[in-house]
Amino acid sequence: MYNQLSAQTEHKLDNSAIYSRHLPTVRQLQYFLAVCEEGNFRKAANRLGISQPPLSMQIKELEEKLQTTLLVRNTRYVMLTEQGRQFRDKARNWLEGLSLAITNVNNYSTDRITVGITKILGFNFIPLFSEFISKFQPNIDLLQQDYSSKELLAEFNKSNIDLVIISDYKKNNDQANSLLVYQEKLVLALPENHPACSGDEIDLNTVIDLPLYWCKRYQNPGLYDQLQKVISNLTASLVLQPKLPNFLTMLMEIAMGRGMLLLPASMAQAHIPGVVYKKLTTEYEQQLSIDIHLLWHQQAENTVIQTIIEYFKHHNTVDTQL
């Protein structure tokens, strides 16, 4: 019979088994473990703060539910049967798991917040943000979907998100506070056989023979306008072509000499034969960057949010605060 019970515990139970009246109670498991650890009913009863008769009654009911003998006892000692030893180990694991689940629920409910991070950067490759996620992981629920800054801002304004890290933010909401926490430089992905690749840095005037994959203005108005200003001062016109939906496909097209791409430095991680990533010259690097803002609600008093704000203020390398 114990083997049948053990087989049930090792596999997923159906609903009828989960709600069976024949399952042991938590109290019975606790009483049984106390007897196992003390080796004596009297000492176990004292430890539990009860008298000996109800303890004996609960152990008897437990054995009847399991339809097996767990303990052999006399007036002086208690001895576990083989079934009792196996069930003791299982019972301890169940109670430890239940205790941990209760602890996690309490921690979850007391001071956790929802955080959204825009998909525009490779945040895992930026120490500031990878350390932030690691440090606050116990206190935040990080949205896993790929949200644009525009989508995150919409959810934030509906109060569906407690805190967001986004790009291209213009302060126009009296209900939100914001802090400029990071600036990401752009690099250029281009075919490795292009003559301009011989140098360490790229002057955009030397690659105007290649079309540039670029976003639509509605996708990132600030960055789009920055590039338009740069283009207007080049020695010749630069052809813009829409970005492809798949990033790796776009890199393959670049490897075949069909274009180039400006992208955040943290996103330049994919190694594709025929593609190189190059820094821009200081002139263009200063004009083309992505500002990353931390946003939180005006009335936010959550201690986790306040601690996160202080974290970014302490680690902030950007002079301007909004």
pTM for the full predicted model = 0.61
Q: Any idea which of 61-75, 129-143, 306-320 has the lowest mean pLDDT?
A: 306-320
Indicate whether 2 pLDDT > 70: no
Q: What is the pLDDT of residue 183?
A: 92
Question: Which tens digits make up the pLDDT trace of 249-304?
Answer: 999 999 999 999 999 999 998 899 999 999 999 999 989 989 999 999 887 778 89
Helix (H, G, I), strand (E, B) or coil at 296: strand
The band of 8, judged by pLDDT with boundaries at 50, 70 and 90, is very low
Q: How confident is the model at residue 205 (pLDDT cuts 50, 70, 90)?
A: very high
- Residues 54, 129: Cα–Cα separation, whole Å: 56
What residue ranges define each of the domains in the chain, with the CATH number in brackets? 2-110 (1.10.10.10), 113-322 (3.40.190.290)
Q: Which helix (H) or strand (E) holds 287?
A: helix 282-287
pLDDT tens profile 156-186? 989 899 999 998 787 766 678 999 999 999 9
Mean pLDDT of the residues in the chain: 86
113-117/140-142 β-pairing: parallel
Amino acid present at 92: R
pLDDT number for residue 3: 45
User: Region 92-102: what's the mean pLDDT?
Assistant: 84
pLDDT, residue 170, reads 79
Q: Is the pLDDT of residue 219 over 80?
A: no
pLDDT at position 320 over 90:
no
251, 275 contact by CB (below 8 A): yes
pLDDT at 108 over 60: no
